[in-house]
Structure 1
């Protein structure tokens, strides 16, 4: 098994990385940063997002494992004090995995060029100054004229991140859907939007055709771009998927409860 390890600069992460490297010296393992079979991230969800974008062109054969050095994250199944158990699971590996949908983003620029991105969590379009004005199309059919700060398009796993803070629903990652949430939309007697999150089916796509300004800011997960003049941006569920080496099951709603509620469990009846 070819393994790549990515850790953030946190002291606990570096200690866990050293322990993991020491445990993977068996002949069955080979450290390979260029073409790994398994990518192990140590830190948090941000560390895993960075590793995902590094290996986005190898998703057909790479599986990811997340080790968290803080509280439990949405993409991390292991804690830093469980490195020995993780090494045992790697030794028993039989190719088990679970996959989640990704977001495909295609941008057309005024000069005729295009740019293509994959997002694990979400993509957004905003303006740095002034109101963003954009026509919104669903499957090439005009839907609305948006006025506001911006729009966020998220995957199911990304529904617990920025999308949720904009009032979006939390979507189970087994659903191949994407969600569009408005960021501070303007609704009055002149301008009207749906003013509610939209969840689109996997065979649908959404296109934005913003008015021609040069101060747009586009984000793909944690990365920010200030593109040149945009003609249109199309969002759809990607044909690619991210695969996680899942050696033990943790229910998605348990992750949601732990992250956002953390309530004391009721006494057994």
Structure 2
């Protein structure tokens, strides 16, 4: 991994951070790395901040398949995607440059809207009504009708996304080594007309999930892609599959995904 020398730092500017970054840049350069201003010229992309910053770094740089991502948290921050803190940046640089580095691969889902526009998601895609009424969607698995959902919305999460929005709605936490994605309901209505499973369910990597939005005033739902929200005109259907893309991150030894889940939640 010694050929990985070009680093791009992604962060939201503030004066306190700028002062720390100057020291970080000097440390990186003294270890033989080059700081680049264009992420397309980087083979290491580093986010500064928590998981939100990491998700934005991945999205804004196009889910690069030919580079490593890593996250650095600041004091008081935690992150399931971030193995390093501003206090141990030197350890990160030495890990990349000298040690037998372990690479973690996080699965990504692909969401296709109306059979036209595709988006990648590292955490989840969520679909919710933009008006004060429930949203109705027909749910298909591999093009076979499964259920008709009525409620606040649905979340389709990756294994790593299972610890965020999905977990807060009583979805399961999934090991990121399992190639799958999870569907979780938001306040489903169950009566004589509408009947749903009533619990989250997990789909294998080769499955296709299709959500068909009934055009009853909810033609413009809010689509959440990771930590960004879009209001897209006339949503008819959303097809979700597990992508062949993965996000590669630097993994510290003796710091597994479940170690970080324990530190974060227990």
Same fold (TM over 0.5): yes
> Secondary structure of the residue that 2:41 maps to in structure 1?
coil
Structure 2 residue aligned with 1:187:
190
Select the residue among 78, 87, 94 that pairs with 2:84.
Answer: 78
Whether 2:232 is the aligned partner of 1:230: answer no
Structure 1 residue aligned with 2:119:
117
Is this contact kept in 1: 2:44–2:67, CA < 8 A? yes
> Secondary structure of the residue that 1:23 maps to in structure 2?
helix
Structure 2 residue aligned with 1:257:
262
Whether 2:17 is the aligned partner of 1:28: answer no
- Ranges in structure 2 where 5+ consecutive residues have no aligned partner: none
5 Å-filtered alignment, 1:80-95, equals 80-92=86-98
CA–CA distance in 1 between the matches of 2:209 and 2:186? 16
5 Å-filtered alignment, 1:93-242, equals 96-108=102-114, 114-129=116-131, 130-212=133-215, 213-242=218-247
Residues 106 and 3 of structure 1: CA distance in aligned 2, closer, same or farther (over 3 Å): same
- How many Å apart are 1:68 and its aligned residue? 0.7
Select the residue among 56, 67, 71 that pairs with 1:66.
Answer: 71
* CA-to-aligned-CA distance 1:88-123 (integer Å, 9 cap, x gap): 2233166641111011100017xxxx2110001000
More displaced stretch, 245-254 vs 64-73: 245-254
Residues 19 and 87 of structure 1: CA distance in aligned 2, closer, same or farther (over 3 Å): farther
Structure 2 residue aligned with 1:17:
21
> Secondary structure of the residue that 2:233 maps to in structure 1?
coil
Is this contact kept in 2: 1:107–1:115, CA < 8 A? yes
CA–CA distance in 1 between the matches of 2:15 and 2:105? 30
CA–CA distance in 2 between the matches of 1:101 and 1:71? 24
CA–CA distance in 1 between the matches of 2:241 and 2:16? 38
- Ranges in structure 1 where 5+ consecutive residues have no aligned partner: 262-269
Residues 191 and 27 of structure 1: CA distance in aligned 2, closer, same or farther (over 3 Å): closer
CA–CA distance in 1 between the matches of 2:68 and 2:212? 36
CA–CA distance in 1 between the matches of 2:55 and 2:83? 15
Residues 63 and 260 of structure 1: CA distance in aligned 2, closer, same or farther (over 3 Å): same
- How many Å apart are 1:216 and its aligned residue? 0.8
CA–CA distance in 1 between the matches of 2:233 and 2:8? 35
Equivalenced residue count is: 256
Alignment RMSD: 1.8
Structure 2 residue aligned with 1:48:
54
* CA-to-aligned-CA distance 1:183-218 (integer Å, 9 cap, x gap): 010012221100100100001111011112333110
Is this contact kept in 2: 1:8–1:14, CA < 8 A? no
Q: TM-score, normalised by structure 2?
A: 0.90
Q: TM-score, normalised by structure 1?
A: 0.89
